[in-house]
Structure 1
Amino acid sequence: MSENDFTLNKSSLIPLHQQIYEFMKRKIMNGEWTVGTKIPTQRDLAKNFNVNRSTIVYALDELSADGLIESKVGKGTFVVNNTWSLLASIPPPDWNSYVKSGSYQPNIKTIQEINRAETNPNIIRLGTGELSPELLPVKEMQQMFKRDSPNTFSLGYSEPKGSIYLRENISNYLKMKKIDVSPASIMIVSGGLQALQLISLGLLHRDSTVFLETPSYLNSVHVFQSAGMNLLGIPMDDEGIRPESLGRLKKQHNGALLYTIPTFHNPTGILMSETRRKDLMDVCMKEKLPIIEDDVYGDLWFETPPPNPLKSIDGQGLILYIGSMSKTLGPGLRIGWVVGPEPVIDRLADIKMQTDYGSSSLSQFIVAEWLSSGLYDEYVKKIRTKLRFRRDFMLEILNDHFKPLATWNFPQGGFYIWLNIKNQISIRKLFKKALIEGILLNPGTIYDRHNQVHLRLSYAYASLHDLKKGLIRLSELIKEFTD
C-alpha cells in the first residue's frame, strides 16, 4: 500500500489529521482499499505522511468510529467495511482473498520496495539494471520515426512469430555472433522476461527443476516458481558456472533444463571463459540437458569481444537463445527474441498469441530499421565507450573509499560490479537505512536468499554526480554498520 499519490497541504486551514482521514476514507469508499486490506502501522503512516504519530491516531480513530477499519490485537488494523458493505445486506467480495489465491507468486518484498522506490525521481539508484536516460538514443529514435523507409509499416497484428522483416534482420545480426538460424527459428517477444514466462508455460512440467547459477537474476523473479517449478543453484567461480555436478543433480532432482547468463552475468558481471563454455556444452550434450542461454548483455563488451555464445556451438538444437534490445536501445521498446528448434518456436508462438496477440508492431518495425540501416552497430560502439568510462569512474571511487570495507570484480562488459562486504553486517538494515537517505541498493539476497555479504552495483543508470555522491555515502553507512 502506497501513500505516494497524496501530499498534505500544510498551509491549509483543514487540520492535517482531517486531510489524512479524508484521503484514507476516499481510498476505502472508492474500493481501492478493499475489505480485508491491512492498513500500514501508525509508525509507517507517520513516516509516509511526514507527521507526528498522534496525527495518525486522530485520523484512524475517526475511520474506526465510521466503522470502516478495525484493529485486531497482535495482527494489525484492517479495512472491514466500504460503501457497498455499508449499503448492502450481502457482504461484497473479499478481493484480498482472491489476491492471495492467485497462482502467480508475489515478488520478493525487497523487489517490491525497489520497484516502488524507482518511481521517485529524486532517489539515487545504485543498482538499477538499465541504461541511464541520458545514454538512450532519444534524438536518434525521433529521427528514425521521421525518415522515409522503403519497408512496409503496419499498425495491425503481426504474425505469431513476429514481424518477418524484424526476424530477417535478427537472423543477419546473429550471424556476427556465429549463430546461423533462419527467421523460422526466431520468435519476437516483449522482452527477455516474457520469453522465460512462455517457456515455463509451454515446455516444462510442474515439479520439475530448473538449474541456474548461484547467485542469479532468475531468483529475483518468480516466473518458474509460479508455474510450479523448483530452482536449484549451481556454484560459480571466476570462469562461470561449474558444470561437473550437473549429471548427478539432473538424476537426483528431476532436472528439466539449465538457465545461464554466460556473458556479463547478472548480478556478478562474470564472463564465462571459452574453455568453460565448451566444458558446459559437453556435459549438457552428454546428459541431454537443454539450456536457456540469456545473452541480453552480449553486445556490451569493453576492451575485447567476449567468446561467441553457447548457441554458436550448438549442433543438437539443445539451446534456446534469448536476446533483447532492453539493455541497449531501451527497455521501453519491449522487444526481445527467442531462437531455437522450429517446433519449439512454433509452440511458444502459439502460446504467445493466446496471451497478448503479438508484440508491438511499431516497436518491431523501429528495431528492424535500426538493424537494417547499420545505425545499431554505430550506436552500440558509442554506448560501449560511455559504459567503459562509467565503469572506470565507479572503480576509481571504490578504490578511494571502499578498500578497507569490501572487495569487488573488474567487469569486462555489461552493467554490474559485484561488491563483497568484508565484515558481517545486516544487508537488510543497510538497504533500509540507505533507502531512508535516498539511496536505492540491490542487495545480494534478491539473487540468492542466503547471500548476506554482496551488493549489485550498476554504473549504467545513475548520473556521474549521483554515482559519486551515492557511493561515498554508502561507504560511510557500511562503516557505521561495522563499527
Structure 2
Amino acid sequence: MWKPDRNSTDPLYQQIANDLEQRISYGEFPPGSLLPSERKLAEQLGVNRSTVVLAYSELRALGIIESRSGSGTRVSSSKWGATPKHTPNWHRYAKGGSFLPNPPFLRRIREALAQDPNLIDFASGELASDLVPVQEMNALMSQNPSMTYFGYVNPQGYGPLRQALVRYLAQYRGIHTTESSILITSGSQQSLYLITQCLLSPGDAVAIEDPSYCYSLPMFQSAGLRLFRLPVDERGVQPEDIRSLYKKHRIKMIFINPNFQNPTGTLMDQERRAQLLNTASELGLPIVEDDPYSLTAYQCEPPAPLKSADTLGSVLYIGSFSKMAASGLRVGWMVAPNSVVERLADARQQMDFGLSVVPQSLAGQFLASSYFAPHLDRLRMNLLYKRDLLIEALRKELQDLVEFHVPEGGHHLWCRIVPEVNDSKLLEASIQNGVIVAPGSVYGSTTGYVRFTFARARAEDIPIGISKFAQALGATIK
C-alpha cells in the first residue's frame, strides 16, 4: 500500500490528498463510493488522524468528496457525474516544471517585507528612493515629451540606447565596442538567464565564486548545470583554483563579479585579474563578468572591468542601471561577440518580442545627459555616508560579536557572526524585532554570516535597525 514520504518537502496531508485525488480520477473510487474513515485511513498510512482530517478537508474544498453525518465520507456524485470531471490539481502543477523556486530564505524575506512594509530593510538589493535620480528623469521626460514610435524595436535593443552605451562604456568603463556587440536586457538576471539557457547545456560544469550572488539564483540548477566553487578571499578568487576545477570537472564557463563583489564587497586585485585572464585564455574558457557596482567606488577611481583588458574576446560583460540609477527602469546590457548577441537576441525575442521602448529611451537620454555625472557623485557620497553609519552602529551595538571587511564601493557589508548562530533562528528573531537581513547561507556560505545592504535603508533608520538586530542576535545566542 502507498505510504506518504516523510522526507518530502510536501506536507503529509497534501501527499495524502494528492494520492486520493489521483486514485479517484483513475476510477479506483467511483462517484458515490465510500472512502475509509479518517481513523482507519490514518492507521493504514501510519499517520495521525489530524493529518487525514486535513487531507479530507482539502478534497472537500475542491468538491471532490463530501461528508455527511452518519453516512461517512464519499466521492462526490454531483461533481463527477457519469464521467469523472474535476478541477486540475494546480498544487501539483505548481510543484512541477523544471524551473525551480527561489531559496526558502529569499521567499521568507519577500513574504516578511510584503506583510510588514515598516521593517527596516537590510536585505533588499535595490537603491532607496532618495538615491534614485527621479527629478532628473522627470526633467528628461518633460524635455522630450513626444515619442513617435511605440512598436517593436530591433531584437538587440533600442538603437539610440545602444549608441549611448557605446559612448558610456568607452568613457566610464574603458570598453571599446560597437552597437552590434551590445544586447539590451531587462537587467543582469535576464542576461544570466539567457546565457545559462542558450550557451550551456544540462550537465555542463561551471565555476562560481564562493560565496556568490549566483548561488542564490535557482536558474543555474534549473538549467541542469553543475556548480563548482571558487573561494573568495580579501584579494578575490585564486586563478589556480580555476585550473584545478578544469582538470577535475572540465568546467565550461566562469561567472565572476570582481569589483565590489556581491555579497562580500571584495575588490579583486590587479595581479589576480591578469592571472585570471591568462588562465582562461590558456584553457579556452569564457568568463561572464557581472559589473553592477564599479561606478559606486566611494573615494577612489572606479576599478576597470576585466573586459577592458580582454584582448582575445574571452569576456561576456554584463551591466545594469539597477545599482547605479533606477531598478524600476529594468534596463541592463551585455557586451559579447556578435554571434552570441544574435543568438541571445533571437531567444529573448521568443520570450517577449523585446523590451519596452519607453524605459530604453529614457535610459539612453540619461546616460548621454549632463545629469549623469553629478548623479554618480551624489550616489557615491550618500553610499559612503550610509556605509559609515552602518559600521559605526555595528561597532557600537555589537563590538566583538561581528567581524567584517570595510568595502570601498558597492552596496553591501559582509559580516561574520563570531558566536555560533542558527541562520533561520536569527532571521526570524530579526523579523520579530522589526529588521530584516540576508543570511549568508543564501549565497552559499557556511552558517553564521550576514549580508547587510545599506543602500536600501534610510540613513536615519540604520542605527535603529542595527540596534534591533543586536537585540535579535542576543536573543538567538542565549
Q: TM-score by structure 1 length?
A: 0.82
Please tell me whether residue 111 in structure 1 is matched to residue 106 in structure 2: yes
Shift of 1:71: 4.7
Select the residue among 56, 60, 66 that pairs with 1:81: 60
Match for 1:460 among 444, 455, 458? 455
In the TM superposition, residue 36 of structure 1 has moved relative to its aligned partner by 5.3
Match of 1:401 in 2: 397
Selected match of 2:326 from 309, 330, 336: 330
Q: Calculate the aligned-residue CA RMSD, in Å.
A: 2.2
Q: Secondary structure at 2:86's aligned position in 1?
A: coil
Instruction: Report the 3-state secondary structure (helix = DSSP H, G, I; strand = E; otherwise coil) of the residue aligned with 2:131.
Output: coil
1-structure distance, mates of 2:133, 2:205: 40
Q: Percent identity?
A: 33
> 1:278/1:463 Cα in 2 relative to 1: closer, same or farther (>3 Å)?
same
Any conservation in 2 of the 1:37–1:96 contact (CA below 8 Å)? no
Match runs of 1:118-137 below 5 Å: 118-119=113-114, 120-137=116-133
Q: Is this contact kept in 2: 1:427–1:452, CA < 8 A?
A: yes
Relative to 1, partners in 2 of residues 1:301 and 1:82: Cα closer, same or farther, differing over 3 Å? same
| Conservation of the 8 A alpha-carbon contact between 1:179 and 1:311 | yes
Structure 2 letter corresponding to 1:79:
E
Would the aligned equivalents of 2:16 and 2:52 in 1 still touch at CA under 8 Å? no
Amino acid at match of 1:159: N
Match of 1:349 in 2: 345
Question: Which amino acid in structure 2 is aligned with residue 200 of structure 1?
Answer: T
CA distance in 1, matches of 2:153, 2:111: 33
Q: Is the 8 A contact 1:130 1:461 kept in 2?
A: yes
Superposition deviation, residue 457 in structure 1: 0.4
Contact 2:100 2:222 in 1 (8 A): yes
Amino acid at match of 2:462: L
Counterparts in 2 of 1:407 and 1:343: CA distance versus 1, 3 Å: same
1:258 partner letter:
I
Q: CA deviation at 1:394?
A: 1.0
Quote how far apart the aligned CAs of 1:356 are: 0.9
Distance 2:14 2:474 in 1: 42
Q: Which amino acid aligns with 2:58?
A: V
- Answering whether residue 313 of structure 2 is matched by residue 317 of structure 1, we say yes
Residues 59-98 of structure 1 aligned to structure 2 (within 5 Å): 71-72=50-51, 79-82=58-61, 85=64, 87-89=78-80, 90-98=85-93
Per mean C-alpha deviation after superposition, the further-off stretch among 394-403 and 190-199 is 394-403
For 1:420 and 1:367, how far apart are their aligned partners in 2? 38
Q: Report matched runs for 1:208-357 at 5 Å.
A: 208-357=204-353
- Distance change >3 Å, CA 76–CA 408, structure 1 → 2: farther
Using the alignment, how far apart are the partners of 2:368 and 2:394 within structure 1? 40
Counterpart residue type for residue 290 of structure 1: P
The alignment status of 1:163 with 2:158, answered yes or no, reads yes
In 1: Cα distance, 2:274 partner to 2:291 partner: 17
Partner Cα distance (1:181, 1:401) in 2: 48
Rate the CA distance shift 1:437–1:313 in 2: closer, same or farther, 3 A: same
Which residue pairs with 1:31 in the alignment?
none
Instruction: Give the one of 414, 417, 421 matched to 1:418.
Output: 414
Q: Is the aligned partner of 1:100 residue 2:95?
A: yes
Deviations 1:192-231 (A, max 9, x none): 1000111111100110112111000011111111011121
Q: Secondary structure at the match of 1:323?
A: strand
**TM superposition shift of 1:305:** 1.8
The residue that corresponds to 1:44 in the other structure is none
Cα offset, 1:118, TM superposition: 2.5
Q: CA deviation at 1:83?
A: 5.8
Paired with 1:122 and 1:169, the residues of 2 have a C-alpha distance of 38
Checking the alignment, whether the CA contact within 8 Å between 2:131 and 2:325 is kept in structure 1 is no
Structure 1 residues 91, 407: closer, same or farther in 2, change over 3 A?
A: same
Amino acid at match of 2:60: N
- The structure having more radius of gyration, on CA atoms, is 2
Amino acid in structure 2 at the alignment position of 1:463: R
AA of the residue aligned to 1:95 = W
The superposition leaves residues 14-71 of structure 1 with CA deviations (integer Å, 9 ceiling, x where unpaired) of xxxxxxxxxxxxxxxxxxxxx95999xxxxxxxxxxxxxxxxxxxxxxxxxxxxxx95
Secondary structure class of the residue paired with 1:457: strand
Partner secondary structure for residue 188 of structure 1: strand
Query: Residue in 2 aligned with 1:49?
Result: none
Question: 2:446 — aligned with what?
Answer: 451
Partners of 1:316 and 1:310 lie apart in 2 by 12
Distance change in 2, residues 1:77/1:231 (3 Å):
farther
Amino acid at match of 1:110: F
TM-score, length basis structure 2: 0.83
Cα distance, 1:77 vs structure 2: 8.1
Give unpaired runs (5+ residues) of structure 2: 1-12, 18-48, 65-75
What's the CA shift for 1:410? 0.7
Q: C-alpha separation between the residues in 1 aligned to 2:56 and 2:462?
A: 40
How far the C-alpha of 1:466 sits from its partner, in A, is: 1.9
- 2:149 aligned with 1:154, yes or no? yes
Partners of 2:268 and 2:241 in 1: how far apart?
17
- Any residues of structure 2 matched to 1:193-204 within 5 Å, and which? 193-204=189-200
The reply on whether 1:184 has 2:188 as its aligned counterpart is no
Structure 1 contact 262–293 (Cα < 8 Å) conserved: yes
| SS of aligned partner of 2:460 | helix
Give the 3-state SS of the residue equivalent to 1:93 in structure 2: coil
Q: Secondary structure at the residue paired with 1:321? A: strand
Is contact 1:190–1:359 with CA below 8 Å preserved after alignment? yes
Measure the CA separation in 2 of the matches of 1:38 and 1:210.
39
Higher mean displacement: 177-186 or 239-248: 239-248
Amino acid across the alignment from 2:435: I
- Cα separation, partners in 2 of 1:75 and 1:251, compared to 1, 3 Å: farther
Structure 1 CA distance for aligned equivalents of residues 334 and 113 of structure 2: 28
